[in-house]
Amino acid sequence: MHARELFDIRNALRKQEIIFAYSGPVTETVLSGVGEAIKQKLVIDDADTKTLRSVFAVFVEQMQNMIRYSAEKVPIGDTESPFNEIMRYGILTIGREGDGYVIHAGNLVSHSDVERLRERLSKIRSMNKEELRAVRKERLRGDPEEGSKGAGLGLMEIARRASKPIEFDFSDVDDEHAFFTLKAAV
Amino acid sequence: MQNLSIPASARTPAVDFDFGKNHLKLSGESYPEDVTEFYHSVFSALDTYLAALGAGHCRFDFELIYINSSSAKAIMMLMDKLDAAAAKGATVDVYWFYDEKDDTMQELGEEFGEDLENAKFHLEKMPG
């Protein structure tokens, strides 16, 4: 019974040419461990240096965005403590697409953040490499946007490393949340 | 002043500031869990050194393989400090070494180099 269910999940991933999938709490420790595994896997796949570094770079920014912003979160430890940490949840997959790779990340966001995020991503998506470079430099010098702990830069880094325009989508989950996905091909 | 030497870790670069030889180097990968925490000691050592440099000469080598977006901000701040010292009379040579197999790091070097007004910028391939 268990074997069958898990095997079905595995097959569903394989059918989509997903070579790596993680779903659960996203933490810096997970980033470190999974990051090393991804590097090893890409070396075994014989990916060229630039592809390997780009997949890794996109992975790092996607994970750090989820670690900082996922709206699906639980406090860890003493809930009364001001030093109480928060653990957030997300899903990340890496798959094959043609000759390259595609990194897909998903997490919950509040409905109230959807419009701002959509606007920011549409803007980044519409920029060519030169425009991206100019805006990125400006952002590097300026203060982070309101409500952002530096996500503007992270999203731009993803777009810069991607071989095609980034893709994103939102799907309503409940009254408070939407599920947000961001896809980057390398 | 005392040299600053921090060995590389999986997510942080090696710091090799030889103040006696006026030769400073940052090499490897940079995507620390906490960028501010990691770069704090690097910034404060550099500030102290540059404040006393006067019209002296300093060489700074960046030999970075990969940096994440928040580290890019820290690197820009390092560049600004070096440029400010050069504006005050020091001779500052900034070397940015890139792996020719990854042109993203070359472009990043160019972007940082464009902003240097007083320090001299050198863009070079990593040897070997």
pLDDT tens across A107-118, in order? Answer: 999 999 999 999
Asked if the Cβ–Cβ distance from B70 to A153 is below 8 Å, we say: yes
Least confident stretch, A83-92, A140-149, B59-68? A140-149
Q: What is the mean pLDDT of chain B?
A: 96
As a dihedral over the C-alpha atoms of residue A13, residue A14, residue A18, residue A21, rounded to 10 degrees, the angle is: 50
B104 interface with A at CB cutoff 8 Å = yes
As a whole number, mean pLDDT of residues A95-106 equals 95
pTM of the model: 0.92
The helix-helix angle for A151-161 and A49-69 (nearest 10°) equals 150
Q: How confident is the model at residue A145 (pLDDT cuts 50, 70, 90)?
A: low
Rounded to an integer, what is the distance from CA A101 to the centroid of its chain? 14
The confidence score (pLDDT) of residue A173 equals 96
Contact present, B53 and B47 (Cβ < 8 Å): no
Assigned token pair, B106:
């070359």
Which residues in A lie closer than 8 A to residue B101 (C-beta atoms)? 48-50
Of A32, A60, A140, the CB nearest to B76: A140
pLDDT at site A80: 65
Say how far apart CA B3 and CA B19 lie, in whole Å: 6
pLDDT at residue A152, as a whole number: 82
A46 touches chain B (CB under 8 A): no
Q: What is the DSSP letter of A87?
A: E
Number of H helices, E strands in chain A: 6, 6
Ranges of residues in chain B with a pLDDT under 70 are none
Per-residue pLDDT for A147 more than 60? no
Mean pLDDT of the A164-169 span = 96
Whether B102 contacts chain A with CB within 8 A:
yes
> What's the gap in Å between the CA of A152 and the closest CA on chain B?
9
Q: Where in chain A are the domains?
A: 2-185
pLDDT of residue A144: 56
| Residue that the structure tokens 């961001």 belong to | A182
Pick the CATH number of A2-185 from 1.10.600.10, 3.30.565.10, 3.40.50.300, 3.30.56.10: 3.30.565.10
Distance from CA of A176 to the nearest CA of B (A): 30
| Residue from the list B10, B69, B101 with its beta carbon closest to the beta carbon of A153 | B69
What pLDDT does A149 receive? Answer: 52
